[in-house]
Amino acid sequence: MIPMRFATRALRVAQEPDPKFRAVVPPLYQSSTFAWESLDDIPKIDYTRCTNPNRDMLEQVVASLENGRFGVLYSSGMAAIAATFSLLQNGDHMLMAEDIYGGTFRLAEKYLPKQGITTSFFDAHNPETIRKVVTPQTKLLIFESPTNPTLRCPDLRKVAEVAHEYGLTVVFDNTFASPALQNPLDLGSDIVVHSTTKYISGHSDVIGGATITNDLDIQNHLFEWNKAYGCAPSPFDNWLSLRGVRTLGLRMEKHCSNAQIVAEALTKAEGVTKVHYPGLPDHPDHEIAKSQMRGFGGMVSFELETVELARAVAESTKVFLLAESLGGVESLVAYPPLMSHATMTEEQRVERGIPPTMLRLSVGIEDPEDLVEDLIQAIASARKTTALV
């Protein structure tokens, strides 16, 4: 194949017309098992828990979009993250960014200790803190950017550099940026994980996960783990995700331009005290984001004058739907204390810069004027009902 750029790869990698009818869209192989020609010819694909044509195809596409050699797909993002933790064994220690995804934190806090694996936390925005918590038993480090929900952007190269001084395997969760905006393998990470539920599938209709790596030993381990634990995605979910990922480049352009418009409008809105978006020039990591991303993403957070106002705004939008998750074509608004960060105490949330006055937006691909008007009307109506005007 000739060398191809991002959007072309999304449409052409591993997607030759099917050999039987020349269908342009890859057929759905909704089959648990595949017939052998003879006992001497073991088929490459024989059972869907191990792999499946739809999965194999999507693995090649996702790996290519991350500039990686190998991919494995899972039934969820959490299964992908759990797979990377299976590189650790009894007695090993792991480093986790303080502002890691809640589900990842839950594994480290509740389940890994039962296998004799311990975790310490570090501040990814200050990579020197790695040196204070690393031990001879430390084997792996995991972090992400932009972070949830404060949308801070640690320096990927610097974190990987310090971690590699200690020989750690660097795992990066690229869910919030998507491969269209940021490629962590090129910036020093050893394994990239995705919740493909979000931007990669992009239509809020699939739960899935992926790992991508250039290291064949790691790849073989992750593939075998998935086969052993049975976290295989369904063929139809892979078919849907492939349909989604084919438009990833185009969708991300719109997510980014809409989010920039929404963020700028919010900075001028009455009742809004703070806006968190890496595309705003006064964001603390604006320059870092520019140096490692091709766009600032579709996620925006903002703070309101009071808790009552924040709750009322979340319940007053008409275009933005009040729901968890992110990365779909439709815009969503979330209230972290009752959704993504409900398992933390109020004190832990405030410590991590998540006040109860904060809302998180997943900005979709609607007309940006409608999104801005919706937020402005929601804030105005919420200020009325909470008697602020």
Tokens (6 digits) for 88: 């650790």
Q: Which of 54, 145, 197, 226 is close enough to bind ligand PLP by CB under 6 A?
A: 197
Nearest 5°: phi and psi at 166?
-100, 10
Cα angle value 216/218/220 (rounded, 5°): 65
Q: Give yes or no for residue 87 binding ligand PLP (CB under 6 A).
A: no
Distance, CA of 193 to CA of 196 (rounded, Å) = 9
Contacting residues for 228 by C-beta, under 8 A, at least 6 apart: none
Please select the residue that binds ligand PLP; options are 85, 101, 225, 277, rule is CB under 6 A: 101
Of 173, 237, 303, 374, the one binding ligand PLP (CB under 6 A) is 173
Q: Collect all residues with Cβ–Cβ distance below 8 Å to 311 and sequence separation of at least 6.
A: 335
Q: What element of type H or E holds 119?
A: strand 118-122
Residue 259 vs residues 148, 305, 325: alpha-carbon distances, Å: 15, 21, 16
- Tell me, yes or no, if 158 is annotated catalytic: no
Cα within 13 Å of Cα(179), Cβ side = 29
Determine if 360 is a binding residue for ligand PLP (CB under 6 A): no
Among 55, 198, 246, 349, the active-site one is 198
Q: According to the binding rule CB under 6 A, does residue 66 interact with ligand PLP?
A: no
CB-nearest residue to ligand PLP: 77
Q: Known catalytic residue: 198?
A: yes
Q: Answer yes or no whether residue 78 interacts with ligand PLP by CB under 6 A.
A: yes
Structural contact between residues 288 and 153, judged by C-beta atoms closer than 8 angstroms: yes
Nearest approach, Cβ of 184 to ligand PLP (angstroms)? 13
Residue 198 interacts with ligand PLP (CB under 6 A)?
yes
Which residue, 15 or 213, is less far from ligand PLP as judged by CB? 213
Member of 122, 176, 223, 320 binding ligand PLP (CB under 6 A): 176
The structure tokens listed for 225 are 């783990």
The residue annotated as part of the active site, out of 92, 99, 173, 190, is: 173
Q: Is there a catalytic annotation at residue 111?
A: no
Report, as residue numbers or ranges, the catalytic residues: 49, 101, 173, 198
Residues interacting with ligand PLP, by CB under 6 A?
A: 76-78, 101, 103, 144, 148, 173, 175-176, 195, 197-198, 207, 209
